[in-house]
Structure 1
Amino acid sequence: MAPLIRGTLLTLYLALVIPLPALAPAGSSRMLLLGALTLGLVLVLALTSEQVEVDREGLRVGHPPWCRPWLRRGWHLPWHTISGLTPVTTSQGGRVYYVRGQDGSAWLLPQRVARFDDFLGRFASASGLSVEGIGRISPPWTYQLLAVLSGLMLALELAWASGILKPPS
């Protein structure tokens, strides 16, 4: 996953959950909430750690060994078994692509990877398929804006928690 996307999602998670223990009633519920928030952070880290590998043999998508037991196992398609790409319009008006295998399988083409243009070039070269018109699922500016807003929200929450800022009366 591209570092901009991963960092943005982690910052958003932290900005949304860090205030919760302070807002929870005193007692055991705070400790339970802190445990849940920690488990949530591990889950978000796992979900955003998907890896895409392009090599001489094929395309492999999966997660690192530390989180494979909890998440889907990933997939691998050898280049000689890839038969095409199928575009699908999303409900938000975007477009995703499925890589079709000769056996009828279909796997979502990764569109949130770092160096996306390089990935597409290597995919096209190895598979022999045209990737003309394929773009990122969402433009980078959307994640940049979300990163700035999440960072600002997190900074304000931390300033409030440290006493630098006082909440409005």
Structure 2
Amino acid sequence: MVEFSPLAPATLASGDRQIFRISPLIRLTLLLLYLALMGPLPFLAQVTQSDVSPQLMAAGIGLGGLGLYGALGQRVEVDDQGIRVTYPAWIRWLFRGGWQLPWREAQALKPRSTGQGGIVYYFVGANQQVYLLPMRVAGFAQLVQLVETYTGIDTQDVKPLAQPWMYFILLGFTLLLLLVDAWTITTALQMA
């Protein structure tokens, strides 16, 4: 593992690679939110005698959860040659394997506003193709420091899309929703 100092430029020795994974807080929050939103549906389908089989619904929810888990397995690999975004091998086929950009081809880092009012950043490659900078990784400040070191692009204004306190609030509400779900499922099973 490479240590970074905020005062010294971040660099990696030739052949070294730094790996950035999606923040554990974000992964936990999103997986629990999925469970809270989808978990009660098979039980409610059973109680309401829905046309959709509860077993089929549970299987679909399980597949969706597996896909979400795979998407949250995204990782960013940085070395002295470039940056690469990849997914776990078992789900890579679904996400087209990610992308890779050599540092020498990175021409700019362009901001774009999102529909929710946030700002995301895209690398512009030599062929004018754009690559989304992953912003929900643990160690984002280190990642941005490496980008600036290897590309010379000014990253002073690049900030994470969401702050940790936002995910703590979402996690709190998700836990409350899970409590409501437990009550809903218990009630549904008693009615069956």
For normalisation by structure 1, the TM-score amounts to 0.89
1:93-108 to 2 correspondences below 5 Å: 93-108=117-132
**Aligned residues with identical type, % of pairs:** 37
CA distance in 2, matches of 1:90, 1:40: 25
Task: Check conservation: 2:122, 2:131, Cα contact below 8 A.
Answer: yes
Alpha-carbon separation, structure 2, partners of 1:102 and 1:80: 8
Q: Separation in 2 of the partners of 1:32 and 1:80? A: 50
Q: For residues 45-104 of structure 1, what are the alpha-carbon distances to aligned partners after superposition, in whole Å with 9 as ceiling and x for unaligned? A: 112111111111100012110101122221111111111111112222211111011121
Q: Do the aligned partners of residues 102 and 148 (structure 1) sit closer, same or farther apart at CA in structure 2, a change above 3 Å counting?
A: same
Structure 1 unmatched runs, 5+:
none
| Equivalent residue, structure 2, for 1:12 | 33
User: What per-residue deviation string (whole Å, max 9, x for no partner) do you get for residues 14-38 of structure 1?
Assistant: 0011111111135971111111111
Q: Which runs of 4+ in 1 moved over 6 A?
A: none
- Is 1:120 aligned to residue 141 of structure 2? no
TM-score normalized by the length of structure 2: 0.79
| 2:40–2:184 Cα contact (<8 Å) kept | no
- Give the Å deviation of 1:162: 5.3
> Which of 37, 62, 78 is 1:38 aligned to?
62
Q: Which has the higher helix share?
A: 1
SS at match of 2:53: helix
3-state DSSP of counterpart to 2:137: coil
Q: Secondary structure at the match of 1:107?
A: strand
Tell me by how many angstroms 1:157 deviates.
Answer: 2.3
When the two chains are superposed, the root-mean-square deviation of aligned CA atoms in Å is: 1.9
- Give the letter aligned to residue 111 of structure 1: M
Q: Write the mapping of 1:55-74 to structure 2, written as runs, cut at 5 A.
A: 55-74=79-98
Choose 65-74 or 153-162, whichever is displaced more. Answer: 153-162
Q: Which residue of 2 aligns with 1:141?
A: 165
Q: Which residue of 2 aligns with 1:152?
A: 176
Gaps (5+ residues) in structure 2?
A: 1-21
2:78 to 46, 51, 54: 54
